[in-house]
Structure 1
Amino acid sequence: MDQAPPAKQSRQKLMEAIMDLGNRAYNPDSSDELRARGQREFGDLMQRTKTLPLMAALNILMRPGSVPQWLRANLVDILTLVPLRPDGVRATLEFVFSVHPSSTVKVSEAAVPQKKGANITQEALKMAAQLIAAPPASVTPETWYSGISSQMLELLDGTDGPELTKVVSYIIGFGIFGRKATSAPGTPGWRHLAEPMLTRIKPPPSGLGTNTTGVGQDEVVDLSRERVLVAHNDLVTAIRRLHSLVVSHPNPGLCKRLLSPLLLPLWALSSLHQPSPSLSDAVCTPALELLRIHLRLVSSPDTLLPLVQNLGYVGGWDKHSPEWFYKTTGQGQGQVQIVDAKQLGTSLNGGVPQVTLQEIEERVPRLLELITSAFSDADISTAFVDLLGRWLKSAQKSRPGDIAVRQEPVSEPNPMVQISEVKVLQAMTDKFSEKLASQPRHILELASQVLVTSADAPEDDDDMNGVALSLINMVVTVPGFQKSRLDPQVLGIIESSLDKLTKRDDVNISRTANNLALLLRYRDEIDPDVGSTAAPTSRQIEDRKTYTLARSYITQQDSPPPVRMEGLSLISSLIVSHSPVLDIPGIIVLMSSLMSDAEDYINLQVIKIFTLLASRHPKSVTKELIDHFVDPKETESVDSRLRFGEALLQVIERLGETFSGETAQQVGEALLSVASRRGHRPKTEVKQAREERQRKMKHQEAGDAWKGEVPDLSDETTAEEKARTEILAQIVEGWESKRGAEDVRIRASALSVLGSAMETDIAGLGPSLVSAAVDLCVSTLQLERDPEKGILRRAAILLVMSFVRALDSAKQAGRRLGFGFGLAAQDDVARTLRYVADTDNDGLVQQHARDVVESLDNWQMAGLVPAETPGNQGAGLMKLAGLTVDPDKIASFLSASASSRPRIEEIK
């Protein structure tokens, strides 16, 4: 007999020790003294056992009948508390990914060492999230999240690989912050996972609760030095973890909640003055990327105004009297830390650095670059108008010679803020002149307001008039401008004000005003053809802006997951509102290109968009999906084709009874061609032959190195497990269908989609397609008996079940299909299913066949009862098909007999 591998022997010894000590510790028949001593020994065993072997042993002992119920309850508590161990979170993830059925490594990957860890699937990820995100009933949420938070945040650092970073981001973003009970500020989940990152970037008004300077309580503090609230390493760690969490999962709502309070701190960190290359890589670049993500998700002009007014922000909650500030230190400005600004009652301005005019000028181009990458043209124009309007109001109030009576003291405006606004306005006018003219109505309204208040001003104060004339010139000279589209009242104000300005003594003002007046008068005659087109409505303008923004979010290569998800959501909202600006063919092609993405969140959202489009454009959507599913040019991968099959399934279910006519015929014929055995893919055959030659060459090289057959170095599997693994490997390898045949998984998917189409609207498919589909299923069950074809036979059996259900639903609804399921055909199908139930080599296929045979028998019995009609609903059994017995006459005879006296008759 072969000796068991060492790993299995150690696991068996651990299980025996757990059962032995567990029996001593928790046996209800033992004395209290023995149980107390046994619990101490059992606890010592749990403490000294490593986490992964402990989980493997406990998972086996959890099987029904392995241990007594009173011991099993205690082992369940221990297993649920494993994440609280120092390495419990990672051990739980590794264990789930290694044992989950969906995480089985593909055969093509089995010969390659798994350097990147386990094969993580969406199903395994959901299970891991359930085990870690939600606290068990035996502990409080405070204890649970305080115990796992440090492990979760360390995994966000990325030192254990990017895959684990994505996994932890998913668990935090959806499992913990995706629930109201743990995602609101003040809840244990938010306090232990979000605040450690946020407070290290922006300290709270009450100060940090922990000492981040590394000074002990009993050590002497040098009061002449600045007190550091957050050290450089802590700040870098917080930004790195926040960046990993934001860019690793597609939750736009969570990104907004995390980044909204950090708008100004991220701006300050991204625009540090002359940072070193190391500081730029560790702080400035990730802070700028986070800021760009936030501005893309909240693409509103309201978010730009705080940045312009706080261009020189250095830190603190109070902009005028900051409590703390960011300070670059170290050799060559290589570090940044958060310093307390109010220690020892020092004067504020003595410790807080003041931003210089040179730094303001350096930050303006950086702000414009950020605006360009995050804002649309309409948003840039709106932000410019708002900013210019605020500046003009402040400039008019500060005009020399004006007498202002103030009832209460008003704080003087900050000169640096005013300088910042002017610098930004000048830079935006120079760089975005064409974009600013995309909203002429708002700019001309603002110019008219300025002219009304400044046209009668003294001639030595023509600055405001010059600004207004520049605005008018910027809009009027843009190609495509039409005077006829302006508000007549605004146009009248501008023309009258220009007439007044032409009489000024200032040559520049009068000449410019005269030229603009002439241009406005004859502008429509310069481009006469443009005026024939109808002006877009406000809704069309807004929808066009949203559509352009959404496409940019999706198509840009550097768009992180939350931004791409926001773009898909914007397109979904436009489809729901039936926006006329949508380019339907372009959207369908764009969604098809996204289906090849490996991220599940993209695929699910794209499928949702396909279902929305199918309601109004069923033919275009189904044609696109079926083209990619059939893949005649052999350019799609198997996984991509399966995703298109899933999208086609949901589209058919969404169409319902409208899935008929030419659309249903095309889809049904394509699915039958894919599901049949006649499909041949020459390019795939060539690729398979090439891969087979490469595999043989590698195997030969390994055999030459070992001078014989390559030994199996695995010592953790028994002979039974090896045999089962080999069988599974043969089945998975057989799915690829050598010699260029269609992949078995694709054929099974086609049968599944066709079955769903039958249940959705069997009349739409028609008798010929339905009959061919049922014949195909019977042939598949009879001829394709290989073990690797098990999934195909299951799909064939379920299609027969879908066919019977569709017939039954049509009967219950009183619909006449024009065809049915004859007795001879029923007998043939039932005979084939019974044979499969008795002889198939796949247990699941056998069970499916038995279930369908039973359902078919029940359906035949139900066929003896006529379908309900509006006149007999709820009346029960009325007549039996094929018999002349009338239940109504029987009932009347019995009631008459019961009312008369008994009568005895002699019967021969």
Structure 2
Amino acid sequence: MEPAKKENQPPLVDNILRLGTLAFDPKLPEESRQQNQEEFNALLNRYHNQTISEKSANFFQHEKLSTHASLEPLGSARSRRATGGNEKRSGISHEALSAISKLLSSPPLGMAPEKWFSGIASQLFSLLQGEGEPEMEKAAAFVIGFGILGRKQYGAPGMPGWGAFVEPIMRCIDPASVENTSWQTPSKEEILTLGSPKILVQPTELAKALRNLSTLLTSHPHPSLSKRLLRPILLPLWSLASWPQDTEAIENMFRKPAREMLKILIQLSPSGKDSLAKNGQTSSTDILSIILQNLTFTGRSESDKKYWRYITNKDGGIQIQEQNPDEINSTDRKLDLAVIDNATDKFISFMGLFENTPDFNVEISILFMALCSKWLFRKEPRERETVLTRLESKEDDIGKFESRLIEAKVMQKMMIAFPDKLVNDSNQVLDLVRQVLLDFTASDRVGRDGDDAVSVALSLLNIVLTSPNFRGGQENTNLESIQSSLTAISQMNHQDITTTARNLLLLLKFRATVDKSETTPSTTRTDQQLEERKSYSLALSYLTATDSPPPVRVQGLELISTLIRSNNSILDIPALLVLFSSVLQDEDEYIYLRAIQSFIQLSQRHPRAVTKDLIERYVDSNEDCDLDQRLRLGEALLQVIQNNPLSFTGETAQSVSKGLLFIASRRGYRPKTEKEQQRALKTKQKENAEAEEAWDGDIPQIFDDEINDETKILSEIVSGWESNRGSEDVRIRASALSILGEAMEANIAGLSSNVVAKAIDTSIHILTLELSPSTAIIRRSAILLIMHFVKALDTARSEGKKLGFGFVGQSLADVSRILGYVEETDTDRLVRQHARDVVEGLGAWEMNSLVPSGVQQTELRELAGLQIRPGGGNVDGKMRPRIEEIE
């Protein structure tokens, strides 16, 4: 079997294995190995790295080849498309990214993962920082985020991948966040004087770490990875985002990236009232509370680690320096009101960034009510045990007074900034009132402070009970406790609050009577619908906001997916189809591929609506979409058909097939496109004329002679894809034929004989009439359509389906003859290979169709890679007449 495997390997792989083994074989003489290494390096340099990655990633698991790959500069791993030298994007496909990720995230045999990842880390970081060609940072982020950090064995904390790619970033943002941190000696740039503090991280290193982290999160927008990386450095990010110095350098290098990453973390975290938060996940309310408790954070002061703090250096940058514990615990430390004012202003401004986020009003309300509860309770509630993060002792009286002052200022500024968002629902107020009244009745203390707190609580209760939207049935537990407390207060000797308590008791009885008559069994369901509507609105805001970063947009798609899985009635299907189509225009491949998955998920509930919308947008009769978007729509349409083959029948299959055939033929005319092409041509001619006048003759072409011939040929092919007469682009025609072929194989029984005949006829005409090099891609699609048809016929025969059409008699001979001619004469190697495969497959299918389905298959069943089974057209082992439908 081994020789057969080698024969099926591409020549490139054979050469890599042969020369790679000779180049690193220790049994060979040194001179021979050096010569072979030169040939091996020349081979790798001769081909694009993208080609090597796609075709031979598995072979690089060889230890020596992997070592060579890790030593090669990753900056050369770029796709160099020959498109006349004007291509500005790297153009790396998703398949190539997956191959590269698989190659680089798997340590070679015989090499420790720590050594492997540390060897490639510097090169990947270089690309992540934008030091390669355009969009190479996305490729590096994909490899790091998906291939390495996405795998538990390498990407979990403490694992080799985490140590090589996460800890270097974290160490520069929060030196204490990395366990066993060795406090590095000062860099060469530092000038130390006797007694001066030790600089741990320079401003340039801190800015680079923030930039690397931001690029990693936005170029590989996976919500779980974002939360995993951002939560440990929550407070350092807040400190940088709220830095008091207001300069352009501080804003661009430190404050803005830190603020954007904090915003991502808030938006990805569940709401304080979300069920996910109740299950133990950190909610956005928890994050805001942690920030509020550490609003003036500037560094760590934990007993088991060295102290550090952020500080502005003489050049105006933010650096990290080691802090003296004696300074932290000094009794001479004074309260800095300017720092507190700045921090509270920044906190209010930060919350204001979420004003257009529908569900964020809940967070504002929860936070405000929590602050109110601290001031209304007569007895100080026991503080939750928290990690000491401020640069002061926990018992420090100044620290306690500072916390109370910060809370008071935040409450005051929240009432000014968000007056209509402080109370989100009545249950929050009732819960606060219940706690205040319970505290008062339990202590039974008389005093001005206690009376004032109860008076405020009773006033809040009166507002809730007199609200026309209040329904007591939703808060029965709170109301029962409140009623008991009001009964106890009404019997006390406090004239003002006693009278108020009695009046409120009467009001409660009245409301209970009214609510009882209005109560319906659907109350719980109504609450659930409200939560679902909030989730839906939140998802739409994430996807439609112009400033939503990639991880947040992915989170929006995840929220909608949850609603689709539950078949929620709140979903507006036409609006979702428009939304998903717009997301397909996203430049980030991760996001638009996720949008395609959303189309598939929605089609499982509404196959006809989704398929109809996709084919209309794919045909694009109004010319609203560009080529890339139409190709993505085609990919979505294909996957919807493949995931719902039984729905591809009847009117849906007919309309889709007709649309695909219209695109694949040469009948399509696009007047808007033609006008744009004419304008572009005139502009180009004008530029060339001006250039020729400037050069006083022909424009000199500066190309390397070795690349020029290949570049010229490929440029001619690519330029031929866009017609100057307003006809369909060759690429979209090839895409339509490919989709139709796959649809045939998915459910050929759903298509009529007329559609199938037109599809085969169109393919034959393309193979015989469109013979230029630029149309090779559509000839390949035409051949593959016939191949899919043969597979579909064989599947139908083996399953006993009677289609009423097929290749028989003269039609089979004609198709075989034409394909044989194409195999001998076509100028494209892949077209000739596909034609050869289909001819062999047709012969095998014809022979197997003569054998009853119960008889063992002939040895021709595996020809041309087709899974051909005998007995086509036969049922129960009996021969039936084969009928060919002719127009």
Q: TM-score, normalised by structure 1?
A: 0.78
Change (3 A) 1:511 1:133: same
> How many Å separate the matches in 2 of 1:694 and 1:529?
76
Change (3 A) 1:486 1:819: same
> How many Å separate the matches in 1 of 2:207 and 2:482?
54
Match of 1:150 among 109, 114, 122: 122
> What is residue 483 of structure 1 aligned with on the other side?
471
> What is residue 369 of structure 1 aligned with on the other side?
349
Matched, 1:339 2:328: no
Matched position secondary structure for 2:79 = helix
Change (3 A) 1:879 1:549: closer
Change (3 A) 1:697 1:316: same
> What is residue 271 of structure 1 aligned with on the other side?
242
Matched position secondary structure for 2:546 = coil
> How many Å separate the matches in 1 of 2:768 and 2:530?
61
Q: Deviations over 1:729-776 (max 9, x none)?
A: 222222223311111211111111111221122222222222222222
> How many Å separate the matches in 2 of 1:190 and 1:666?
51
> How many Å separate the matches in 2 of 1:75 and 1:470?
73
> What is residue 171 of structure 2 aligned with on the other side?
199
Matched position secondary structure for 1:278 = helix
Match of 1:185 among 157, 169, 190: 157
Matched position secondary structure for 2:135 = helix
> What is residue 378 of structure 1 aligned with on the other side?
362
Matched position secondary structure for 1:633 = coil
Change (3 A) 1:263 1:209: same
> How many Å separate the matches in 2 of 1:429 and 1:164?
47
Asked if the contact 2:490/2:499 (under 8 Å) is kept, the reply is yes
Matched position secondary structure for 1:147 = helix
Q: Deviations over 1:267-320 (max 9, x none)?
A: 1222233454433332222222222211222241222222222223232153x9
> What is residue 407 of structure 1 aligned with on the other side?
none
Post-superposition offset of 1:840: 2.4
Matched, 1:356 2:336: yes
Change (3 A) 1:175 1:81: same
Post-superposition offset of 1:821: 4.0
Q: Deviations over 1:29-51 (max 9, x none)?
A: 75xxxx4x888xx59x99xx9xx
Asked if the contact 1:212/1:231 (under 8 Å) is kept, the reply is no
Change (3 A) 1:373 1:620: farther
Matched, 1:771 2:720: no
The equivalences for 1:1-80 within 5 A come to 35=30, 55-56=41-42, 58-60=44-46, 80=66
> What is residue 211 of structure 2 aligned with on the other side?
240
Post-superposition offset of 1:392: 5.8
> What is residue 568 of structure 1 aligned with on the other side?
557
Asked if the contact 2:241/2:254 (under 8 Å) is kept, the reply is yes
Q: Which amino acid aligns with 2:228?
A: R
Instruction: Identify the range of structure 1 (180-189 vs 736-745) with the bigger mean alpha-carbon deviation.
Output: 180-189
Instruction: Identify the range of structure 1 (821-830 vs 595-604) with the bigger mean alpha-carbon deviation.
Output: 821-830
Q: Deviations over 1:115-159 (max 9, x none)?
A: x57554444444544554444346433333333333433444446
Q: Deviations over 1:460-496 (max 9, x none)?
A: 2223314423543564566x62335433453354456
Change (3 A) 1:759 1:167: closer
> How many Å separate the matches in 2 of 1:709 and 1:229?
59
Change (3 A) 1:433 1:467: farther
Match of 1:439 among 402, 407, 425: 425
Matched, 1:448 2:421: no
Match of 1:804 among 766, 787, 790: 790
Asked if the contact 2:176/2:305 (under 8 Å) is kept, the reply is no
Instruction: Identify the range of structure 1 (357-366 vs 689-698) with the bigger mean alpha-carbon deviation.
Output: 357-366
Post-superposition offset of 1:605: 0.2
> What is residue 311 of structure 2 aligned with on the other side?
328
Post-superposition offset of 1:587: 1.7
Matched, 1:864 2:850: yes
Post-superposition offset of 1:228: 3.4
Matched position secondary structure for 2:320 = strand
> How many Å separate the matches in 2 of 1:27 and 1:605?
48
Matched position secondary structure for 2:817 = helix
Identity level (%): 39
> How many Å separate the matches in 1 of 2:161 and 2:333?
36
Change (3 A) 1:795 1:452: same
> What is residue 899 of structure 1 aligned with on the other side?
none
Match of 1:310 among 285, 289, 294: 294
Instruction: Identify the range of structure 1 (420-429 vs 735-744) with the bigger mean alpha-carbon deviation.
Output: 420-429
Matched position secondary structure for 1:338 = strand
Matched, 1:136 2:125: no
Change (3 A) 1:324 1:671: same
> What is residue 683 of structure 2 aligned with on the other side?
694
Q: Deviations over 1:855-886 (max 9, x none)?
A: 112111112123349xxx99999968499xxx
Asked if the contact 1:96/1:124 (under 8 Å) is kept, the reply is no
Post-superposition offset of 1:833: 1.9
> How many Å separate the matches in 1 of 2:517 and 2:713?
74
Match of 1:743 among 710, 724, 729: 729
Instruction: Identify the range of structure 1 (420-429 vs 753-762) with the bigger mean alpha-carbon deviation.
Output: 420-429
The structure that has the greater radius of gyration is: 1
Change (3 A) 1:358 1:754: same
> How many Å separate the matches in 2 of 1:795 and 1:167?
29
Match of 2:636 among 642, 647, 656: 647
> How many Å separate the matches in 1 of 2:48 and 2:313?
56
> What is residue 209 of structure 1 aligned with on the other side?
182
> What is residue 76 of structure 2 aligned with on the other side?
94
Post-superposition offset of 1:809: 1.5
> How many Å separate the matches in 1 of 2:339 and 2:603?
54
Post-superposition offset of 1:609: 0.2
Q: Which amino acid aligns with 1:395?
A: K
Report how many residues are paired. Answer: 804
Match of 1:289 among 242, 260, 263: 260
Q: Which amino acid aligns with 1:192?
A: A
Please give the root-mean-square deviation of Cα atoms over the aligned residues, in Å: 4.4
Asked if the contact 1:660/1:763 (under 8 Å) is kept, the reply is yes
> How many Å separate the matches in 2 of 1:588 and 1:818?
36
Post-superposition offset of 1:661: 2.3
> How many Å separate the matches in 2 of 1:749 and 1:690?
27
Change (3 A) 1:846 1:866: same
> How many Å separate the matches in 2 of 1:603 and 1:746?
18
> How many Å separate the matches in 2 of 1:608 and 1:269?
37
> What is residue 15 of structure 1 aligned with on the other side?
none
Change (3 A) 1:435 1:811: farther
Match of 2:144 among 172, 189, 210: 172
> How many Å separate the matches in 2 of 1:229 and 1:93?
30
> How many Å separate the matches in 2 of 1:105 and 1:465?
78
Contiguous gaps of at least 5 residues in structure 2: 1-18, 50-58, 271-282, 383-393, 856-868, 882-887
The equivalences for 1:390-789 within 5 A come to 395=379, 414-428=400-414, 431-432=417-418, 434-454=420-440, 457-458=445-446, 460=448, 461-469=450-458, 471-472=460-461, 475-476=464-465, 481-494=469-482, 535=523, 536-717=525-706, 722=709, 724-789=710-775
Asked if the contact 2:198/2:322 (under 8 Å) is kept, the reply is yes
Asked if the contact 2:176/2:306 (under 8 Å) is kept, the reply is no
Q: TM-score, normalised by structure 2?
A: 0.80
Contiguous gaps of at least 5 residues in structure 1: 1-18, 64-72, 99-103, 399-409, 884-908
Change (3 A) 1:673 1:589: same
Post-superposition offset of 1:421: 3.8
